[in-house]
């Protein structure tokens, strides 16, 4: 069974008198271990889709099942528990807390999990190592480069050992070289840690690191290279 499964998902927003429908009766299957990139013009609903898959927002119709759980049936607190255990979110701007060290920023999501302090420390150390920042644990965000900050953001997204990581333009604020390093890192985490990735990007080079490239076009998905095919 697909790890991420959307069936007939629609989402509308009202803008003044106008109703916009960024997602229109969408179906999507992402298999465990896949790395899917999602491109499309600005305002077509890519971030909206990530928010639905993360349970941050609810669809107007359709069903979303992630890691075996149908999200629409969950209360807010159950959703928060589910998200803490199953989902990591990588932002364009890393959203690190400036008064916390790299270690403490990465530790934050683990505070929502039932772990002993030893297990928590092991998870944080593993995540720091996975992103190559074992020697930066005690640095504050202001003491890190942009690429290092993003790597802390990535470590924070994987520290709970989530089944799915969604990334919203993770390389959007980085220079070319740093962007390439982050792309390599994401690819490695997908392959070596078997993390299923769903990444929104405007960068066609970044999109190519994915095992499957989708484009969101007028409320529907088309697969890169087969523009007429609905997924």
Ligand X SMILES: Nc1ncnc2c1ncn2[C@@H]1O[C@H](COP(=O)(O)OP(=O)(O)OP(=O)(O)O)[C@@H](O)[C@H]1O
Measured between alpha carbons, how far is 149 from 136 in angstroms, rounded to an integer? 10
Question: Is residue 75 a contact residue for ligand X (CB under 6 A)?
Answer: no
Chain residues 118-137 in contact with ligand X, contact rule CB under 6 A: none
Stretch in the footprint of ligand X (CB under 6 A) among 38-46, 78-86, 105-113, 155-163: 38-46
Task: Give the residue, chosen from 3, 4, 6, 22, that forms a contact with ligand X under the rule CB under 6 A.
Answer: 22
Cβ within 8 Å of residue 31, ≥6 positions away: 2, 3, 196
Measured between alpha carbons, how far is 37 from 95 in angstroms, rounded to an integer? 22
Least distance between ligand X and beta carbon 18 (Å): 10
What is the phi/psi pair of residue 224, to 5°?
-55, 130
Question: Is residue 141 a contact residue for ligand X (CB under 6 A)?
Answer: no
Strand pairing report for 212-217 and 35-39: parallel
Least distance between ligand X and beta carbon 99 (Å): 29
> Pick from 95, 92, 93, 96: which is nearest to 46 by CA?
92
Q: Which is nearer to ligand X, 40 or 109 (CB)?
A: 40
Q: Which is nearer to ligand X, 59 or 109 (CB)?
A: 59
Q: Which is nearer to ligand X, 94 or 136 (CB)?
A: 94
What is the phi/psi pair of residue 47, to 5°?
-65, -35
Measured between alpha carbons, how far is 180 from 189 in angstroms, rounded to an integer? 14
Task: Give the residue, chosen from 37, 48, 110, 183, that forms a contact with ligand X under the rule CB under 6 A.
Answer: 48
Question: Is residue 12 a contact residue for ligand X (CB under 6 A)?
Answer: no
What number of other Cβ atoms are within 10 A of residue 108's Cβ? 14
Question: Is residue 59 a contact residue for ligand X (CB under 6 A)?
Answer: no
Measured between alpha carbons, how far is 171 from 154 in angstroms, rounded to an integer? 11
Question: Is residue 47 a contact residue for ligand X (CB under 6 A)?
Answer: yes
Least distance between ligand X and beta carbon 58 (Å): 12
Find where tokens 């803490």 sit.
84
Rule CB under 6 A: which residues touch ligand X? Answer: 13, 15, 20, 22, 40, 42-48
């Amino acid at each position: 069974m697909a790890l991420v499964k959307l069936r007939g998902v629609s989402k509308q927003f009202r803008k003044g008198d106008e109703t916009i429908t960024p997602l229109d009766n969408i179906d999507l299957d992402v298999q465990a271990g896949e790395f899917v990139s999602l491109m499309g013009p600005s305002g077509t609903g890519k971030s909206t889709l990530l928010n639905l898959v993360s349970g941050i927002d609810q669809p107007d119709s359709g069903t979303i099942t992630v890691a075996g759980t149908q999200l629409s049936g969950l209360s807010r607190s159950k959703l928060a528990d589910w998200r803490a255990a199953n989902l990591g979110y990588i932002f364009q701007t890393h959203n690190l807390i400036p008064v916390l060290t790299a270690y403490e920023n990465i530790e934050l999501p683990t505070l929502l999990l039932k772990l002993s302090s030893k297990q928590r420390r092991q998870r944080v150390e593993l995540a720091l190592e996975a992103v190559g920042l074992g020697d930066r644990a005690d640095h504050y965000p202001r003491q890190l480069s942009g690429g290092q900050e993003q790597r802390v953001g990535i470590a924070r997204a994987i520290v709970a050992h989530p089944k799915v990581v969604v990334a919203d333009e993770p390389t959007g604020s980085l220079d070319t070289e740093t962007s390439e390093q982050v792309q390599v890192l994401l690819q490695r985490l997908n392959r070596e840690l078997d993390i299923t990735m769903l990444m929104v990007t405007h960068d066609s080079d970044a999109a190519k690191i994915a095992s499957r490239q989708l484009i969101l076009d007028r409320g529907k998905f088309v697969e890169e290279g087969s523009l007429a095919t609905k997924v």
